[in-house]
A and B are shown apart, each in its own frame.
Chain A
């Protein structure tokens, strides 16, 4: 099976989601025990739990109570979970989970999502925790940070975690763009404000979107970086009538691809 050509199916699915309908990607008979109760759902060990990183941010003394990690949390996460189930048939927990970088439990979730990393300010324990996580085989996606100032902050922090690995631009023929959907362009996904206003999609001085990554010795992605773009907002606001479908479809395609990449590479 060749990776799916994007728009028709995704647009249909996203559109139908907006109408509150839509076919499940896997036949109901094959789905096992999907309870709506979050507590019951977390009792069962799900294969995939959408995991959001809790990290320290802001100036000294603010710690994780600075809450930049919690941007769009938990709505973006929930929306993402709801739609991804319709595109990909896998065992995903109904609710998301937020875990601190220095928590050993982090290692039970090989996929990790972090936003607003322009404000990241990690403690030593968090640096160690994240480093061990990535070197053991964990996969981190960072999203929603704009402009050169925020970039510099993120770069400084990630260099503390993985000093020996360079950050590289990912070419469009990289497997992550073709794992499931065929993605042949980098689309700048605007935040909800810009999206509704129309006009420019960029914030601060982040005019050009970029998808970058940090690769290990074998060439496998450890960290996937979405800069000057905001996939999280697209996931959160997909059903808003004013949010353009083209951005949310791209965000969902990318979302599916990166999860499938993380679960196979």
Chain B
């Protein structure tokens, strides 16, 4: 329609510059026009006949005609540069990744559009090839030249548009390039930013036109977005996996969310799907029974009619360790807690609780030590001795028992070594034991009140989980939240001998205790991260009542469950002197994997001069050695890379030594498989494609509008161009306007009865 009235396409007006190309000087024309206009106006003003209004209207109409004629005589033109036919190249980059296989075009895959538009007989291809020398490229994780679109396979596992643009530009750098055309769904899943590539293209004057293929939102699809779970756990640990599920087309439906371990279902939960487009977090709990590297698959079974099925699940590797975690429980006076805590965890093969029990001044008994020398001199006096444990439970021991160095060492046990500290309640613990103002108080998650605020003293407290506590895996007493809360509420009250009312900012209160008769509330369980480790406070006197009390049935396992989970949580994530980390736990065959190790000595001080070696064992058994080098910018951190060729789980065993001494080792795993990133978040990304076009001076098209592309390329292109002038005086609209005004004047005069 526009073209009909204005003679040219909108793109010509956008790109062209307006100018008058009059054969005589503009000034002379302007003077003549004014003179003429003045004569007309004067003649009308002088004529007496007719009313004022008529004279004004008629004068206006006549002046309009005059203006239009003058406009035409002044030869208006659009100055525009157009590409010279057949002298310029156009690069067509076609997305060859797996996401192009998604069948969201009425059941037909996106690649069909490519076949139709760039097939041998297609009009679009012919139009392009008439005007330009077309070079075809395909891109996914890398870009290559193509002889023709027939060679496309749509098997790429990643989409890297920025790299593709760079590659095409470089390849066509020596020829006049009219522009690049990118045919893609825009589902870029590279980690690099596009900005550099776009800036370079703009500087080179190469516009990029983008053709967006596919629906912005898949009509019927369920996607498991993100899966969050710890990298390693102790065998028998109960875990909570956080999963983000989003969907469109199935809102409100209930579907199962399944966790599989090597194909065997270990947990299942029914999920009500959120409204379209809204991601919903879901938590699934399960127990890690088997040791070793477990390949877990978290998925929602495919629902009927789903467009993409490959994004219904995610695979992760969970390292389940079968080790005996050593915890030191130091109790300042004989207490029944010692007996019942030992009993609760006696059967746990992964926990070893060593008890150092003070019986009288300077006199101790030791239980479950590894050898007669362990703790012979009492509480550890050196970092090496204390840091050999992974958890420290402090009972009712007054602060003055320790030297200042030992108190500092206990705080460092948490902060530097990354160990877990559990401070129990008791008449000699916490503020009542004189810990306020000590380094240990810094580590604790609760505020130790000063003397004046210790009113209240000993009180009975009814314990209940806080909101945060209800969701916390360590204090859950049953497999589902509701039953667990019920169990908590049925447990008998305990004795609180320490007045603890406040947690520190940054700490989390998990259990609170209500003192009867308006005595307020006390903190019963709180935790916080401190440095590399965690500190937990459990200021009660007698949790053993949860086992012994007459109201608790004999077969009730709440007390055992609570203590087992608490102690496992205490040592969870506590590092070894040598730890291995992989920035990414998955890679594709042929993709480099970065291996990072943190190395410290037995006092947990970072070591920068160690010999660190990683031994990589591929699934087929072949081993290779990879030395890791100190990164220089971080104490104790060593790095190296290797490139796996095979698919499957690769074991990476790291050993560190300094001189003759071995510092330790660590094992980690990397899963090597072709990436299925293409199937996630695979809707057509219009904002991204528009941005690419706009920043480089191109335009965005959809399959519906792409037919205009060849013609538009003439005007928007770079490369060899020629400047043209396009006449505007013979625009149909001017003729129509002229006709309209004359007809209006005639009509007015007829209506007024003038001659």
Q: Which of B458-503 contact A (CB under 8 A)?
A: 458, 460, 495, 497
Please state if A32 and B360 are interface contacts (CB–CB under 8 Å): no
Docked pose: A27 CA to B398 CA in angstroms: 12
Docked pose: A3 CA to B367 CA in angstroms: 12
How many residues of A are in contact with the other chain, CB < 8 A?
38
Nearest neighbor of A1 in chain B, beta-carbon distance:
B364
Please state if A90 and B548 are interface contacts (CB–CB under 8 Å): no
In the complex, whether A15 has a CB less than 8 A from a CB of chain B is no
* B497: A residues at CB distance < 8 A: 45
Known: A26-B360, A47-B541. A107 touches B550 (CB 8 A): yes
Nearest neighbor of A4 in chain B, beta-carbon distance:
B363
* A262: B residues at CB distance < 8 A: 339
Say whether chain A's binding surface is mostly helix, strand, loop, or mixed: loop
* B139: A residues at CB distance < 8 A: none
Partner of B361, one of A3, A26, A108: A26
Partner of A32, one of B358, B365, B427, B549: B427
Partner of B333, one of A27, A91, A180, A220: A91
Among the stretches A56-64, A119-127, A135-143, A225-233, the one at the interface with B is A135-143
Docked pose: A45 CA to B493 CA in angstroms: 13
Q: Which of B311-355 contact A (CB under 8 A)?
A: 333-336, 338-340, 342-343, 346, 355
Please state if A265 and B360 are interface contacts (CB–CB under 8 Å): no
* A21: B residues at CB distance < 8 A: none
In the complex, whether B359 has a CB less than 8 A from a CB of chain A is yes
In the complex, whether B357 has a CB less than 8 A from a CB of chain A is yes
In the complex, whether A44 has a CB less than 8 A from a CB of chain B is yes
* A32: B residues at CB distance < 8 A: 427-428, 432
In the complex, whether B554 has a CB less than 8 A from a CB of chain A is yes
In the complex, whether B545 has a CB less than 8 A from a CB of chain A is yes
How many residues of B are in contact with the other chain, CB < 8 A?
43
Known: A48-B334, A89-B360, A179-B365. A264 touches B355 (CB 8 A): yes
Please state if B458 and A263 are interface contacts (CB–CB under 8 Å): no
Known: A30-B398, A110-B548, A138-B548. A263 touches B343 (CB 8 A): no
Please state if A136 and B335 are interface contacts (CB–CB under 8 Å): no
* B336: A residues at CB distance < 8 A: 47-48, 110, 263
Please state if B428 and A180 are interface contacts (CB–CB under 8 Å): no
* B541: A residues at CB distance < 8 A: 45, 47
Partner of A88, one of B334, B367, B552: B334
Please state if A107 and B339 are interface contacts (CB–CB under 8 Å): no
Instruction: Looking at the assembled complex, report how far the CB atom of A199 sits from the nearest CB atom of chain B, in whole angstroms.
Output: 36
* B547: A residues at CB distance < 8 A: 136-137
Please state if A264 and B365 are interface contacts (CB–CB under 8 Å): yes
* B333: A residues at CB distance < 8 A: 26, 47, 89-91
In the complex, whether B544 has a CB less than 8 A from a CB of chain A is yes
Known: A108-B548, A259-B334. A1 touches B495 (CB 8 A): no
Please state if A264 and B548 are interface contacts (CB–CB under 8 Å): no
In the complex, whether A218 has a CB less than 8 A from a CB of chain B is yes
Please state if A137 and B339 are interface contacts (CB–CB under 8 Å): yes
Nearest neighbor of A261 in chain B, beta-carbon distance:
B339
Please state if A264 and B338 are interface contacts (CB–CB under 8 Å): yes
Q: Which of A63-116 contact B (CB under 8 A)?
A: 87-91, 104-108, 110
* B361: A residues at CB distance < 8 A: 25-27, 89
* B542: A residues at CB distance < 8 A: 45, 47
In the complex, whether B366 has a CB less than 8 A from a CB of chain A is yes
Which residue, A87, A106, A263, A264, has most C-beta atoms of chain B within 10 A? A264
Which residues of B are in contact with A by a Cβ distance under 8 Å? Answer: 333-336, 338-340, 342-343, 346, 355, 357-367, 376, 378, 398, 427-428, 432, 458, 460, 495, 497, 541-542, 544-545, 547-552, 554
The 7 closest A-B pairs by CB, nearest first: A104-B550, A1-B364, A25-B360, A90-B334, A107-B550, A90-B333, A263-B334
Which residues of A are in contact with B by a Cβ distance under 8 Å? Answer: 1, 3-4, 25-27, 30, 32, 44-45, 47-48, 87-91, 104-108, 110, 132, 135-138, 179-180, 218, 220, 259-260, 262-265
> Please, could you name 25 A-B residue pairs with CB atoms under 8 Å apart, sorted by A?
A1-B366, A4-B363, A30-B398, A45-B458, A47-B333, A47-B335, A48-B334, A48-B336, A88-B359, A89-B333, A106-B550, A107-B550, A110-B544, A136-B547, A138-B548, A180-B359, A260-B334, A260-B365, A263-B334, A264-B338, A264-B339, A264-B342, A264-B365, A264-B367, A265-B339
